[in-house]
C-alpha cells in the first residue's frame, strides 16, 4: 500500500511540479533538489499510484500507445494488417539504481532467444519499461557518466535507439524523468541539468505544527493503512478528476500575444543559453492554467511556474552562488 498523494503535507512546489508533468509529459521531467527525508520518493510513488490506468497495445513490451508512436514490433504488426488489441495498465515508477549497467538501461540481446533459436532478438531494458511511465533516479548526481549519456540521448529524442551486440532496434521511450539530488554531494552536469524540464528545491519543514501533522499522518498510515486510505479517498478522487480534466483541456488552451511577449522578455533579459527555458516555461504555464481549469494562460501562471522552469537554467559559474541571478528573476517577475 502506498501513502496517498494528497496526504503529503506541504511541499506544494514538488507536488505541483509533478502534476504539471503529468498534465503535459512533454515538459520534460522534474528535478527535485533537497535534503534527505523530505518525502521525495514517496511523492513520486504516490502520484503514480493515484493516476488512472493507461491504454497500451496488448502484448507490447514497450507499452506502445494505441495511437502511436510505435516500436518496431508494433509497426510491423500494423503494416501486416494485424489487428491491435488494447489493454489497460497501471502507471509504474521505474527506478534506475546507481550501479546500473548499460545493458540494463537500453536493453540487450535476448539470451534465451539467441540460444534456442540461434537468432538475434532484443531484450528490453529499463528504458522500455519506463516508456509512458515515470523514470525515477535517486541521487541522480551520483550516476555514472556513461549512463547519464544514454539517458540524455533518449530523454531528448523520446526514442531509444540500440546499436550494439549486433542488434539494431528502436522503440519509443517517452518517460517522465524524475531525479532527486542533494547538491551538497556533488553537482550535476549542466547539460543533463538542462534536460530536466522543471526543477524544484525542497527544504525540510521546520514548522512545528506541520511536522507534527506529518508524523501523525505517517503513524496513522503505518498502523492502519486501509483506514487511512479510506479517509483520503474523496481527496484522491477529486485530484484525479482535476488532473484528467486538465489533460483534456490542455490542447484548447489559448496563449495571447501578450503572454508570448512576456515569456520572451523574461528569458531574454536573463540571457539564458538555448531555447529550452522559454519552451518549458510556456508549456508549464499552459499546464498550470489547465490545472486551474482555465482556457487562457494568465500572467499568474507564468509567475507561478517561472521559478521552476528557469532557476536551474540561470547562468552560473561553478562555485558561484546563483543568488544575484535569482534576485533578478524575481525582480523581473514582479514587474510582469
Partner 1 sequence: MISFPEFKEAFPELIGNYPAKLALVLNLIDPNCGGVLLAGKRGLGKSLLLKLFKKYLNLFKIPYVEIPLNVTEENLVGGIDVEKTLEIGYRVYQKGLLDKAKNAYVLIEEINLFPAEYLSLIFQRSYNYTIIATLNPEEGFISSHFLDKIGMCVFLEKLEDKKAYFELLRFWEKEKDLENSYLESYSNLYKYIEIIKSWRTNVKYENFIWDYIVEICLKNRAFTHRAEIFLFFASRAYAALKGDSVIKPDYVNFVAPLVLLHRMKNVEEKLQPQQEKKENQEQSQKNQEEPQNQSQNKPEKLPQKEQEKSSSQNEENKEENEEPDLDSLEIFLPSAPKEEIFDLGDVFKPKRLLLKKDRIIRSISGRRTKSKTHLKGGRFVRSVIFSKDKDIDLFGTIKTASPFQKLRGRKDKLIIYKEDIRYKEKERKISHLVVFVVDGSGSMAAQRRMIATKGAILSLLMDCYQKRDKVAMILFRKFNADVVLPPTSSVELAYKKLKDLPTGGNTPLSAGLFEAYKLIKKYHLKSPEDRILLMLVTDGKANIPIKIASDPLEETENICYELKNLSYVDAVVVDTEIKRDFLKMDLAKEIAEWLGALYFALEEIKSESLLNIVNLSKNFLYRNEAKS
Q: Which residues are catalytic?
A: 276
Give the residue carrying C-alpha cell 533537497.
Answer: 34
CA distances from 144 to 98, 139, 244 (A): 7, 11, 37
What's the closest the beta carbon of residue 237 comes to partner 1, in angstroms? 26
Q: Which helix (H) or strand (E) holds 32?
A: strand 30-34
Phi first, then psi: give them for residue 177, nearest 5 degrees.
Answer: -85, 120
> Closest CB to partner 1 among 72 and 219?
219
For residue 30, which of 131, 130, 137 has the smallest C-alpha distance?
Answer: 137
Is the CB of 207 or the CB of 258 nearer to partner 1? 207
Q: Which CB atom, from 46 or from 263, has the smaller least distance to partner 1?
A: 46
Query: Shortest approach of partner 1 to residue 230 CB, angstroms?
Result: 20
Contact 135, 79 (CB under 8 A): no
* Order of all β-strands in the sheet with 30-34: 93-95, 134-137, 176-181, 30-34, 198-202
Query: 109: helix, coil or strand?
Result: strand
Distance separating alpha carbons of residues 163 and 108, to the nearest angstrom: 9
Q: Select 204 or 264, whichever has its Cβ closest to partner 1.
A: 204
Long-range contacts of 327-336 (CB under 8 A, 24+ apart): 328/269, 328/270, 329/270, 332/265, 332/266, 332/269, 332/270, 333/266, 333/302, 333/303, 333/306, 333/307, 336/262, 336/265, 336/266, 336/299, 336/302, 336/303
Contacts of 330 (CB under 8 A, 6+ apart): none
Taking each helix axis as running N to C, give the angle between helix 299-310 and helix 323-335, from 0 to 180 degrees, rounded to the nearest 10.
170
Identify which of residues 95 and 325 has a Cβ nearer to partner 1 in the complex: 95
In terms of CB distance, is 116 or 268 closer to partner 1? 116
**CB 164, min distance to partner 1, A:** 8
User: What DSSP designation does 71 have?
Assistant: -
Binding site for partner 1 (CB under 8 A): 35-39, 95, 97-102, 108-109, 111-112, 114-118, 138-139, 142, 144-147, 165-166, 182-187, 204-206, 208, 211-212, 214-216, 218-219, 222-223, 318-319
Residue 274: CB minimum distance to partner 1, A: 21
Q: For residues 165 and 60, give the distance between their C-alpha atoms in angstroms, rounded to a whole number.
A: 23
Taking the complex as a whole, how short is the minimal distance between the CB of residue 198 and partner 1, in angstroms?
Answer: 22
Amino acid at each position: 500500500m502506498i501513502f496517498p498523494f494528497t496526504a503529503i503535507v506541504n511541499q506544494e512546489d514538488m507536488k505541483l511540479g509533478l502534476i504539471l508533468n503529468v498534465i503535459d509529459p512533454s515538459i520534460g521531467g522534474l528535478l527535485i533538489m533537497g535534503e534527505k527525508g523530505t518525502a521525495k520518493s514517496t511523492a513520486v510513488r504516490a502520484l503514480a499510484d493515484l493516476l488512472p490506468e493507461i491504454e497500451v497495445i496488448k502484448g507490447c513490451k514497450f507499452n506502445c500507445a494505441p495511437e502511436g508512436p510505435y516500436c518496431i514490433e508494433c509497426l510491423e504488426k500494423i503494416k501486416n494488417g494485424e489487428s491491435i488489441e488494447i489493454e489497460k495498465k497501471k502507471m509504474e515508477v521505474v527506478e534506475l539504481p546507481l550501479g546500473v549497467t548499460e545493458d540494463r538501461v537500453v536493453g540487450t540481446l535476448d539470451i534465451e532467444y539467441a540460444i534456442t533459436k540461434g537468432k538475434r532478438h532484443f531484450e528490453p531494458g529499463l528504458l522500455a519499461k519506463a516508456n509512458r511511465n515515470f523514470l525515477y533516479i535517486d541521487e541522480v548526481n551520483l550516476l555514472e557518466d556513461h549512463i547519464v549519456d544514454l539517458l540524455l540521448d533518449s530523454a531528448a529524442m523520446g526514442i531509444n535507439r540500440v546499436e550494439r551486440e549486433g542488434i539494431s532496434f528502436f522503440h519509443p521511450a517517452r518517460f517522465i524523468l524524475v531525479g532527486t539530488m542533494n547538491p551538497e554531494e556533488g553537482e550535476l552536469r549542466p547539460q543533463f541539468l538542462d534536460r530536466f524540464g522543471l526543477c524544484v528545491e525542497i527544504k525540510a519543514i521546520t514548522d512545528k505544527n506541520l511536522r507534527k501533522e506529518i508524523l501523525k499522518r505517517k503513524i496513522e498510515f503505518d498502523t492502519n493503512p486501509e483506514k487511512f486510505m479510506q479517509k483520503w479517498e474523496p481527496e484522491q478522487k477529486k485530484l484525479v478528476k482535476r488532473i484528467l480534466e486538465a489533460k483534456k483541456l490542455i490542447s484548447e488552451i489559448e496563449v495571447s500575444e501578450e503572454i508570448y511577449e512576456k515569456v520572451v522578455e523574461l528569458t531574454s533579459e536573463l540571457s539564458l543559453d538555448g531555447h529550452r527555458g522559454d519552451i518549458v516555461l510556456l508549456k508549464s504555464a499552459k499546464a498550470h492554467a489547465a490545472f486551474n481549469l482555465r482556457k487562457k494562460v494568465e500572467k499568474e501562471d507564468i509567475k507561478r511556474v517561472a521559478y521552476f522552469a528557469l532557476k536551474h537554467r540561470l547562468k552560473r559559474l561553478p562555485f558561484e552562488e546563483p543568488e544575484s541571478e535569482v534576485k533578478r528573476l524575481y525582480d523581473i517577475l514582479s514587474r510582469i
